[in-house]
Structure 1
Amino acid sequence: MARDYYKTLGVQRNASETEIRKAFRGLARKHHPDVNPDTPGAQERFKEVNEAYEVLGDPKKRIQYDRFGENWRYADKYTRSDGSFTNETFSWPGSGHRPDATFGAGSVFADLLGGVRFSSRERGNVRPTPIEVPVELTLEEAYTGVTRTIQIPSGQGRRAKRLTGTIPKGVDTGSRIHVPAGQGMEIYLTVKVRQHAQFQRKGADLYVDLLLPFVDTVLGGQQEVPTMNGEVLLTIPQETQNGQSFRLRNKGMPRLSKDGLYGDLFATTKVVLPTGLSEHERDLFRELKQVRKDREA
């Protein structure tokens, strides 16, 4: 019986590319032989899913499949750019012979194609599904870069092996790092960067709150600002407002794959009001209040 690739992936015939890709990834994970080594039929089901996605995941192949069904591989040989059939003699790929018939437009060609079955070998080799290995990093590790050693189990004719992947500086949540593996394997480290207690990250830029004593916001001063590689001294102008942002260039995260380039660090002021005032300090504030009142009168 001819296999319906749409049914194999569990999608409608009018499914979008995104829906097809999502369905494939879910089924590939579900039926991967390494995940289900003892489940009967898992490997065969896995191959079917790969085969279906090989066709439906390619827009050109999908159009041919929608028109010719399982014989889509041989469609190009018999169609012109206008969509009509050619008058070439039909030769079955890999068969070593040709049928004693020539087919043209309006002939029994379509009926003959509909009755032919091809072996899995003729459909081509199934590409292995990439193995995704989740890796969680601290922000500091994402800043400096790091290596991770992973264990790949045996399966599909390969031996178990340990691999070391180099994660470059500047990676962010969602980054995929390819790890050379050999044996026909495709290994990717999928990165997740943990939230930091002090810094917020947006792309290559970092954001940090800068706590300032009330008197320094009024009179100005100097304040140490934390960065990923130590503190730097920042000059605070007089009459700095709460929520004011200072930009420290090149003090953010490394820009991935752009050696020597960094994002910026934005320090946002948070004014800390004094507490535990002495009576003398309160008198000074009262005096300041009166001075401001007289000035505005």
Structure 2
Amino acid sequence: MAFIDYYKTLGLTKSATEKEIKSAYRKLARKYHPDLNPDSKEAEKKFKEVNEANEVLSNAENRKKYDKYGKDWKHGEEQERAQRQYSNRSQQQSRSQGFNGGDYSDFFESMFGGDSSSSGFGSTPKFKGHDFNSELHLNLTDVYTTQQQILTVNGNKIRLTIPAGVENGQSIKIKGKGGPGINGGPNGDLYLKFVINNDTNFKREGQNLYKDVAVDLYTTILGGEITVDSFDSKVKLKVKPETKNLSKVKLKGKGFPVYKKEGKFGDLIITYRIKIPTSLSEKEIELFKELQKLQKK
């Protein structure tokens, strides 16, 4: 495997800070994202390289191994450990009954999951490929219902079903969609993080939604009926007489879908905000003065 300079891939030096790595990755991932470069094979290649570099350098432990082992960073410690364990075992066997070549194959089979034909002397064990990390940006309205999307990762198209109710920052694992395995080993996995932009006037907290609704002064004093928007429909509400400012009403089952629970929804919590009338006519001002006098009696 040819050596890849991950620092150079991100336009950084070996002394780069964690913050600099994160900033460089985000900038380049946006620049080369397949959705922004749908017909560019070069952009796909660059996007793959940027993700691979970030996977290694953004993880402190992976970065330490990379700095120490270079292109063999992922398996350097495993190979050293295998050699030490084999050496210890060989010495013990030599002292007790002499060297047995069959035990050598059995040892590497237990370590790396190979068979006797692929794990004998001079062969290279199989290893899982690199895991990939990526982000999928959606609007809140997109995840109110279950939907399907086709993603392009490492040049491959993946059809993904996104269940309703997925949360901002939530990650899922897509097995086998990472980097190719080494020496016939299994592919790595793809870890996909959801970044959800709230493009509505609702506030979301888990499965519940929150919304402020303006109610005119007269309705809050005398009571009445108003119509408010839920996330997907309109709802009529009765306002009780003498309703106070910032009073709350819970609409059960009118919130956001619960993740992977078909037909189950959270609640919608409405907060009433009294709207003070402005641009009063002379008649209205006179009536308010009359009310003021009555209050003082």
Question: CA contact under 8 A between 1:204 and 1:253: conserved in structure 2?
Answer: yes
**Alignment RMSD, CA only?**
4.0
User: What is aligned with 2:167?
Assistant: 172
Between structures 1 and 2, the one with greater helix share: 2
> Normalised by the size of structure 1, how large is the TM-score?
0.60
Q: Distance in 1 between matches of 2:106 and 2:193?
A: 49
1:139 has 2:153 as partner: no
Report sequence identity in percent.
26
User: What is aligned with 1:231?
Assistant: 234
Give, as a single letter, the amino acid of the residue that structure 2 aligns with 1:288. L
User: What is aligned with 2:75?
Assistant: 51
Question: CA contact under 8 A between 1:47 and 1:126: conserved in structure 2?
Answer: no
1:292 has 2:287 as partner: no
CA deviations 1:119-155 (Å, max 9, x no partner) are 783xx533323222311111111111222211122xx
User: What is aligned with 2:41?
Assistant: none
Question: CA contact under 8 A between 1:249 and 1:265: conserved in structure 2?
Answer: yes
1:70 has 2:89 as partner: no
The alpha-carbon distance between structure 1 residues 288 and 88, as it changes in their structure 2 partners (threshold 3 A), is farther
Aligned residue pairs total 217
Question: CA contact under 8 A between 2:128 and 2:188: conserved in structure 1?
Answer: no
Aligned residue among 192, 197, 209 for 2:195: 192
Q: Distance in 1 between matches of 2:122 and 2:48?
A: 25
The alpha-carbon distance between structure 1 residues 47 and 243, as it changes in their structure 2 partners (threshold 3 A), is farther
Aligned residue among 274, 282, 285 for 2:285: 282
Larger Rg: 1
Q: Distance in 2 between matches of 1:72 and 1:260?
A: 56
Aligned residue among 222, 225, 231 for 1:222: 225
| Secondary structure in structure 1 of the residue aligned to 2:144 | helix
Give, as a single letter, the amino acid of the residue that structure 2 aligns with 1:149. I
Q: Distance in 1 between matches of 2:164 and 2:278?
A: 43
User: What is aligned with 2:266?
Assistant: 263
Cα offset for 1:47? Answer: 5.8
Aligned residue among 49, 52, 73 for 1:35: 49
Cα offset for 1:163? Answer: 1.4
Q: Distance in 2 between matches of 1:246 and 1:222?
A: 14
Question: Gaps (5+ residues) in structure 2?
Answer: 1-17, 29-45, 57-65, 108-120, 181-186
Cα offset for 1:214? Answer: 0.8
Question: Gaps (5+ residues) in structure 1?
Answer: 1-21, 56-64, 79-84, 99-117, 154-159
CA deviations 1:57-90 (Å, max 9, x no partner) are xxxxxxxx9xxx7359839x98xxxxxx999768
Question: CA contact under 8 A between 2:152 and 2:158: conserved in structure 1?
Answer: yes
The alpha-carbon distance between structure 1 residues 135 and 288, as it changes in their structure 2 partners (threshold 3 A), is same
Question: CA contact under 8 A between 1:91 and 1:97: conserved in structure 2?
Answer: no
Question: CA contact under 8 A between 1:50 and 1:126: conserved in structure 2?
Answer: no
Q: Distance in 2 between matches of 1:245 and 1:211?
A: 12
| Secondary structure in structure 2 of the residue aligned to 1:34 | helix
Cα offset for 1:206? Answer: 0.5
Q: Distance in 1 between matches of 2:200 and 2:164?
A: 20
CA deviations 1:234-283 (Å, max 9, x no partner) are 11111111111110111111111222211111111111110110111011
